[in-house]
Structure 1
Amino acid sequence: MDLDLLEEKLVSSIGKSVTSISQPTLDALKKAKEKEEGSARVQLEAMLEAVEVGERDKVPVCQDTGIPTFFIKIGKSFPQIDEITELESVLEDAVERATEEVPLRPNTVHPITEQNPGNNIGKHIPYIEWSFCEGDDVDIFYLPKGGGSENMCQLNMMTPGKGLQGVKEIVLERIASMGGKPCPPAVIGVGLGGGSNIAMNLAKEAILRPVGKTHEEEISKLETELREKANELGVGPMGVGGKTTVLDVHIKYAHRHPASYPVGIVVQCWANRRGHVTINSNGSVEVVY
């Protein structure tokens, strides 16, 4: 595994993730603009203009380039599995380089001293979530999560007896109460079940799924229902009112304890930024988006 090449590709992907947005998200924003009028349409036009400027001038679409989080999916048959432990230092070096070269806004602040190291590196930052899966490749997903949308995330320990109706009420009430704070139209990740930490991790991972791609199981019906009802709330782009409050709702779940029903809600802003790099089994490295 060529670690120098991997670092170069990661820096490129990080830069791309904050200076452009994924095609499914862009298509959804354009489609939303055609539905809106008045102030809602103006807000969406401003978002699309920011995307044009970002891609043209290679500058961040939003000044808040987020806290760096990586989700790493390791294929169990990856031939260089013994080198995986070296990834952490490569990821840190890539984030530090991208902070200077893109540039990214330095967003890591010590919770006690308030000191900012200036390079987006800190205790547990970048945060890395590791997991194994079938296959022989390694997929590295980068999630630059801004503070405004992160502040709207919420964990609910729901009474199990409320069931799916309770889940719907919690999610929709949260979306309605947020108003324009998370810079909607948002992408909503929902984590159901597991423990409290599992539900929130699942919700954050759920927003990595492309806009418009539903869950492969029956739970996709719940995603569709929540998206439609959320867009009937009238919050609209940036909270000015309108038909488009969310671009999508994505759900992941885990089995839970009979006495506990965690509902994690993670909110992503309209830009829905992410990066994706694949290390192929033959050692080549590809920037997917």
Structure 2
Amino acid sequence: MSGSGDPALLQKISDATYNAVRNSEIYLPDDVKDRLLCARNTESSPVAKQELENILENIRLAEERLAPLCQDTGIPVIYVTIPPGLSWTREMEEAVHAGIRAATTKVPLRPNLVDPLSRENTGTNTGLMMPPVHVTTGERFTITALPKGAGSENVSRIRMMNPSEKDRIVKFVVETMLKAGGRPCPPVILGVGIGGTFDVAASLAKEALLEPVSCMSSYEQDICDKVNLLGIGPMGLGGDTTCLAVKVKTAGCHTASLPVAVNIQCWAARRASEEVII
């Protein structure tokens, strides 16, 4: 196995990151497209049906022209799995950022990353301790890109609930979407994180957006159905389909707390993975 400082390995990491980011920006995952097609076929509102047609045409044109699905190309949140025996290093993280900088120039991506106070733009979508790279151990060395735009991120929420409010979790999720309205470009996918600590719940909610949306548990389906009863509809213009899917991830929490986070994702639920061959 190559060493973690091997230039050849670092270049592979950079290239894999570039490919993951590029593909995530251009190609919507098949399971998300299937959900949109199903929504189009079952939608009863003519306006909503036309909006879903427009979204599907947008997807087709992005693939045909090799162009980003959305003008807000987001900040690419990166998830890495590394096989046992390989340690993640600062050089590896820099290789990931090099891949993001290359994608920003070549795809191209809109430079979105700014200093939170001065609002000065880095111009590269990297720097200022961003974008985040989440590393876990896995069987293969993979890099997954999850571009996250501001429209959906800005209306996401977290609440430190009392344990006695367990039965109010579904209401909190539905209320979050009600407050969001059409701003996150519905139909949306909702990632829900329950448990852990304040920061863990938020991480779980975002990680839930990596899960396939081809199926839901009964709990997830119940939340999805209740959100769709809001009638917000595609792009906020009314209709049957406000939410394509709900995905929930949980973790143990302190006996005295119940953190709940909702990370909203727009219809352009972008994600793509690349394997690093070592």
Normalised by the length of structure 1, the TM-score is 0.89
Pick the aligned partner of 2:65 from 54, 57, 63.
57
Report the residue type matching 2:59 in the other structure.
V
- Which residue, out of 157, 167, 188, partners 1:154? 157
Match of 1:119 among 112, 119, 124: 124
Deviation of the 1:125 alpha carbon: 1.0
Helix, strand or coil for the counterpart of 2:183? coil
Does residue 1:99 correspond to 2:104, yes or no?
Answer: yes
Change (3 A) 1:232 1:83: closer
**2-structure distance, mates of 1:82, 1:173:** 42
Name the aligned partner's letter for residue 40 of structure 1. Answer: A
Which deviates more from structure 2 when the two are superposed, residues 262-271 or residues 137-146? Answer: 137-146
Which residue does 2:15 correspond to in 1?
A: 8
Aligned to 2:111, what secondary structure does the other structure show? coil
Q: Which residue of 2 aligns with 1:69?
A: 77
Q: How far apart in 2 are the matches of 1:272 and 1:121?
A: 21
Q: Check the 8 A contact 1:184/1:238 in 2, yes or no.
A: yes
Q: How many Å separate the matches in 2 of 1:175 and 1:254?
A: 23
Which has the higher mean CA deviation after the structures are superposed, 81-90 or 64-73? Answer: 81-90
Provide the secondary structure at the position in 1 that maps to 2:23: helix
- Deviation digits for residues 171-198 of structure 1 (CA, Å, limit 9, x no counterpart): 1111122111100110100000111100
Work out the CA distance in 2 between the residues paired with 1:260 and 1:6.
39
- Structure 1, residues 180-224: CA drift from partner, whole Å, max 9, x if none? 11001101000001111000000000001121244xxxxx22111
What's the counterpart of residue 241 of structure 1?
Answer: 238
| Residues 68 and 125, structure 1, Cα contact 8 Å, conserved in 2 | no
For 1:187 and 1:132, how far apart are their aligned partners in 2?
A: 27
Q: Once the 2 structures are TM-superposed, how far is the Cα of residue 73 of structure 1 from its aligned partner?
A: 2.4
Paired amino acid for 1:63 = Q
Report the secondary structure of 1:205's partner residue.
Answer: helix
Q: Is 1:274 aligned with 2:271?
A: yes
For residue 162 of structure 1, report the CA deviation from its aligned partner: 1.7
CA separation in 1, counterparts of 2:48 and 2:103?
34
Pick the aligned partner of 1:44 from 48, 52, 57: 52
* 1:249–1:167 Cα change, 3 Å: same
Query: Which residue of 32, 44, 54 corresponds with 1:25?
Result: 32
1:238, 1:231 → 2: CA distance?
13
User: Is the CA contact (8 Å cut-off) linking 1:14 and 1:142 kept in structure 2?
Assistant: yes
Residue 132 (structure 1) shift: 2.7
Amino acid at match of 1:151: N
* Shift of residue 32, structure 1, vs aligned partner: 0.5
Q: Please tell me the root mean square deviation across aligned C-alpha atoms, in Å.
A: 1.5
Partners of 1:202 and 1:120 lie apart in 2 by 23
Mark the runs of 5 or more structure 1 residues left unpaired by the alignment.
Answer: 215-219, 284-289
Task: Specify the SS of the correspondent of 2:18.
Answer: helix
Distance 1:5 1:191 in 2: 33
Residues 189 and 205, structure 1, Cα contact 8 Å, conserved in 2: yes
Paired residue for 1:87? 92
Contact 2:20 2:143 in 1 (8 A): no
Amino acid in the other structure paired with 1:261: L
Q: Partner of 1:267: helix, strand, or coil? A: strand
In structure 1, the residue matched to 2:226 is: 229
Listed as ranges, the gaps of 5+ residues in structure 2 are 3-8
1:171 to 155, 173, 190: 173
In the TM superposition, residue 13 of structure 1 has moved relative to its aligned partner by 2.1
CA apart distance, 1:6: 3.2
- Measure, in 2, the Cα distance between the counterparts of 1:228 and 1:190: 15
Distance 1:211 1:26 in 2: 10
AA in 1 matched with 2:191 = G
Q: What amino acid sits opposite 1:117 in the alignment?
A: T
